Amino acid sequence: MKKCLTVCSSHLITLPSAPHGPVRAAIADAAAAVAEFDPELVVFFGTDHRRAFRSVVPTFAVVLSATAQGDVAGPSGAYDVPSSLGRELVADLVSHDFDIATAYEAALDHAFGHTARDLLGSISARPILPIFINCASPPHASFRRAASLGRRVGSFFEDKRVLYVGSGGLAHDLPGFREPETGAVLTEEERQAWIKSVNERARAEGTIRELVRTWDEAFLAGVGGTSWEWLDEIGVDLVERGGNGAAECLTWTAAWAAGGQALTVLAHEFDTNGRAVVMSV
């Protein structure tokens, strides 16, 4: 009986406005595999869209208590976070030379909430240990560093029956995240109005990036094996090749390394953005 399962998925793929294609169907298949696997713990590598962490943005953080913000039609309520286990993980990571932050509490946005709900049914269905990776506010960690973090996390939990989740990606560009982080706190209404204005200006100025699927394909080939050779190249010219949203794939990279297994593509779609669901088998 296998001790771990890894699932990585784009988020926002089950919104009513999202395409009813292979990726939406694949998340249901992944959820069925998760239910059959029946994990005792979910270690969830997720990111944020400049909502949860404002005055301080850690590169990596273990979250000891978490609620869901309910943004973008996402779930709300409290996660079942095993805080004592989280503290033990932080101590282990520090002892292995990772400068990990401890988030005693955090209100996590849809980067965690949508995928947790899609895979588990609800955010409180199973114990979830959230591990935040900054993907929205440069500078970001390298893909190799995210993999190193994931590998250490996997070693720490090697005696448990764990589901590793990565949420985000693939190639997409978000004009609203091109500007430097300021730490400003906005209401959700103010935030949505600002994003709308930024996107409208980008369209008017002709600065919307037209991405192609080659970055997606290179990344999926990387997590489709167990070699680490691809990690140094995948982040080169990331914004030009994959858009600033492609940094979210740092979460997939950490989950892939934690599980230590090749991931199989259940579905991949690309129009002007990429989205996919992958899983270890």
Question: Which of the residues are catalytic?
Answer: 110, 172
Cβ atoms of 245 and 171 within 8 Å: the answer is yes
In terms of Cβ atoms closer than 10 Å to its own Cβ (0-12, 13-18, 19+), residue 102 is middle
CA 194 to chain centre: 24
Which 8-state DSSP code applies to residue 223? H
Angle, helices 22-37 vs 110-120, to 10°: value is: 70
CA dist 165 → 79, 116, 245 (Å): 15, 9, 18
- Hey, what are 73's tokens? 């039609």
Which 8-state DSSP code applies to residue 57? -
Cβ atoms of 251 and 8 within 8 Å: the answer is yes
Cβ atoms of 18 and 12 within 8 Å: the answer is yes
Q: Which residues pair with 270 in a beta bridge?
A: 274
* Cα separation, 57 vs 150, whole angstroms: 19
